[in-house]
Amino acid sequence: MPAHSNTPAEVAITLPDGNLRSYPYGTTGADIAGSIGRKLRNDALAIIVNGEPRDLSLPVEENASVEIVTFDHPEQLGREIFWHSASHIMAHAVEELFPGSRFGAGPATEQGFYYDIASDHRFTEEDLRAIEKKMLEIAGKAIPIIREEMSREEAIAYFTSTRNDPFKVEILEDTLKDTPVVSVYHEDGFSDLCSGPHIPDTSKLKAVALSNISASCWRGDSSRQTMQRIYGIAFPTEKLLKQHQAHLEEARKRDHRKLGTELELFMLSPEVGSGLPMWLPKGAIVRNQLETFLKEEQRKRGYLPVYTPHIGNIELYKRSGHYPYYSDSQFPPLTYTDDLGREEQYLLKPMNCPHHHLIYSSRLRSYRDLPIRLTEFGTVYRHEQSGELNGLVRARGFTQDDSHIYCRPDQLVDEICNAIDLTKFVFSTLGFDDIQVRLSLHDPENLEKYGGTGEVWEQAEKDVREAADRMAISYVVGIGEASFYGPKIDFIVRDALGRKWQLGTVQVDYVMPERFDLSYTGSDGQRHRPVIIHRAPFGSMERFIGVLIEHTAGNFPLWLAPIQIAVLPISEEAHEYAVSVQQQLHTAGIRADIDLRNEKIGKKIRESELRKIPYMAIIGQKEMASQSVALRRHRQGDLGTVSLQELQDRLLKEIEEKS
């Protein structure tokens, strides 16, 4: 019976399909899942009550909309809960195997989990296998994972005396200093400070693979205690683990660093420096084709090209705010003393924006001049941590397809829509069809991170929402993901392996026009502030091409391929005609290679396949006599015999259509 007369006997639960059901007051998520079906009860990991994820064991004490969370939840929530729980089980296993270990942070990641561990023991690959075995042993015991709420003071006492865990005590005394009640999760003899939710018991974990160990520092501070980070992934079935491992093997084959070397696209040299890629001729062709494609599209849309230097006076970046906001990720200033003894400091350019603002302000602008769309493929430099560098996708020197649109407030939403349209056009042309859009907004609880006033942010976020709605794009909202000067519309693409990459972006900026005193003369003869749109469909050329290599597995579409066709004579007698074929194709603007080696045609074909050349023109006695070629397509095989003119027309049409 209810404890108080005000407590209802039943609660009304609305399920995702709109079905309304009544349950006794205090029914748990597990009870609701079980009432729907036995399979759902077995698969259930957590419950969402009125949008809030909770443990299955918690009672529902109000009328609510409810959704049962399984591993395959469409928003990845099930995986996140499962992997976060697996990180706790891993810590439990480590504590049993290596007593005295202490634990820092153990979050879920996009592809699994990790835990930062302080231990006198130096973990090895053999240890990872032992930890996996212990995790499965713990899972086999079906240990309940129990949530307990404590006052912050009780939790400090618990983690000080009972757990002897200084890391959790620091979190309680620092990060959670304004949180009166916290939650602790227990699984048998192991306990961890966590907000949850977690899986109901350890038996849900059926398969686990710990992948690697790396060094880390407590709270990411290199001056704090060094820790060991163990990465892993876990699944509710062995089949899912095997699928994941096959996925990883395919990812290794597609690794852009591996393919970049094999296809001679780019190189990294310690003599140049970490994170500073150099483009080889074939990679330069790919990059140049992409740049030419975007430049031509921008020309059609009224963009004006500019060029700016690779370094700038530090005062410029202080004025923009980039120096104080991003000083940790910038190279140290270059100090210069001129012949008069005057000292100046310069920075390797971290952003193109301030330079473009100065170009805009170089002369008076009228309301009739706007919008002004400046564009540059500008190289910038960031001092990324060495452990975060990853070939092209995380580099220290990279080129942004940067544009800044200076417009009147009444033009703003139209210009945002145009920038969105251009970005979508770029992605669809390059074969990225699975795109998620995120509206990256500011965190109103942390205003000191941002420039401008609350009113300015309210207007800017209204603008991006209006544009996104007008363009009929579905989006998610990311609170706290905005730039320091304005909200963003970020484009996150999913590649052929299902991985997500944040690439293009459109940003609205009311802050920089104030900082740089930008203006235009209005129809009333008075000075007015323009609004700035920062826009980059590719994001960075290096990152985009790195993702594109992995998305296509190096099989570029014909218009991008460094070599579009290989001319392969069968015998020396066909060399002269083969050379004439190559020259005719070259004259037509087709990138044709020729293989005149004294090798069997089978070997030449195999090597052209390995080089991922889209087409092969095989030439023997018959083709010489008929002035034709035997045409092959990479990964498809023989396409039959075509005349030289047919070949040329076919290739040029495919190149023109960018199909």
**Which is the catalytic residue, given 88, 488, 551, 634?**
488
Q: In this structure, is the dihedral angle defined by the CA atoms of residues 200, 202, 205 and 208, taken in order, positive or negative?
A: positive
Name the active-site residue from 55, 192, 401, 402: 402
Cα 616 to Cα 637: distance, rounded to the nearest angstrom: 9
Contact 463, 508 (CB under 8 A): yes
Kindly give, in sequence order, each residue whose CB lies less than 8 Å from that of residue 374, ignoring residues fewer than 6 positions away: 303, 304, 305, 306, 356, 359, 360, 403, 404, 405, 406
| CB-neighbour burial class of residue 149 (10 A; exposed 0-12, middle 13-18, buried 19+) | exposed
**Which of 322, 382, 408, 611 is the catalytic position?**
382
Mention every residue, 6+ apart, whose C-beta is less than 8 A from residue 387: 214, 215
Q: How far apart are CA 184 and CA 186, in angstroms?
A: 7
Asked if 578 and 526 count as a contact pair (C-beta separation under 8 A), the reply is no
Residue 536 structure tokens: 């980059």
Token code pair at residue 582: 């190559």
| Catalytic-role residue among 534, 551, 604, 632 | 534
Distance, in Å, from the CA atom of 172 to the CA atom of 167, rounded to the nearest integer, reads: 9
Q: Who contacts 416 (Cβ-Cβ below 8 Å, separation ≥6)?
A: 463, 464, 467, 489, 506, 508, 533
> Can you tell me the distance from the alpha carbon of 518 to that of 36, in angstroms, rounded to the nearest whole number?
61
Which of these is catalytic: 102, 353, 543, 582?
353
CA angle 593, 598, 599 (to 5 degrees): 85
Q: Is 353 known to sit in a ligand binding site?
A: yes
Tokens read off for 468: 């996104």
Residue 620 phi/psi, 5-degree rounding, is -130, -165
Active site residue 84: no
Question: Catalytic residue among 228, 400, 507, 582, which?
Answer: 400
Tokens 């029914």, residue located: 27
* 353 is known as an active-site residue: yes
Report the number of secondary-structure helices (H) and strands (E) in the chain: 20, 33
CA-based torsion, 195, 196, 197, 200: positive or negative? negative
Distance CA 429, CA 451 (A): 36
Mark whether 488 is an active-site residue.
Answer: yes
**Residue 378 backbone phi and psi in degrees, to 5:** -105, 130
Q: What share of the chain is helix, strand, coil (3-state, %, to 5)?
A: 40, 30, 35
Residue ranges of alpha helices (H) inside 588-632 are 601-610, 621-626
- The two beta strands, 435-441 and 475-479, are parallel
> In the numeric block, which tokens belong to residue 638?
């023989």
Residue ranges of the annotated binding site for Zn(2+) are 353, 404, 534
Catalytic residues: 353, 382, 400, 402, 404, 488, 534
Residue ranges of the annotated binding site are 353, 404, 534
